[in-house]
Amino acid sequence: MAKKEPKEKAHVHKKTAHDLRMEKEGPKEIGRRIKEMADGLVEEIKANQDPTFITSQRGRGNVSFSEAEGIITLGDKKTHRNFLNVAHARKFMQTMLVTSKANDYLGNNKTAAIREIYYELKHTVGGTDENTFEDQSESDGVIVDLEHSVETIREKLNIHANPKGTLYGDITLIDRMHRNDEFNCLKLGRGGWSIMSRLEPNEIEIKKVNADYVLVIETSAMLERLVEEDYARKNKCILVGTSGQAARGARRLVHRLNAEFKLPVIVFTDGDPYGWYIYSVIKQGSMALAAHSEFLACPDAKYVGMTIEDIKEYGLENVTEKMKEMDVKRAKEMLAYDWFKNPEWQAELKTAISLGKRIEQQALANKSLEFVATEYLPKKIKKKQFLP
As a whole number of angstroms, the distance between CA 346 and CA 349 comes to 5
What 8-state DSSP symbol labels residue 190?
Answer: T
Three-state DSSP state, 130: coil
Q: Which of 274, 286, 284 is nearest to 341 (CA)?
A: 284
Per DSSP, the chain holds a count of helices (H) and strands (E) of: 14, 17
Contacts of 348 by beta carbon, 8 Å cutoff, 6+ apart:
276, 307, 308, 387
Cβ atoms within 10 Å, residue 126 = 6
As a whole number of angstroms, the distance between CA 267 and CA 260 comes to 18
As a whole number of angstroms, the distance between CA 331 and CA 87 comes to 35
Beta-bridge partner residues of 268: 217, 305
237 within 8 A of 212, measured Cβ to Cβ? yes
Active site residues: 119
Q: HEC string of 103-115?
A: HHHHHCCCCEEHH
SS3 content of the chain, % helix, strand, coil (to 5): 45, 20, 35
55 within 8 A of 149, measured Cβ to Cβ? yes
As a whole number of angstroms, the distance between CA 62 and CA 56 comes to 9
Helices (H), 172-324: 220-228, 231-234, 248-261, 273-284, 308-313
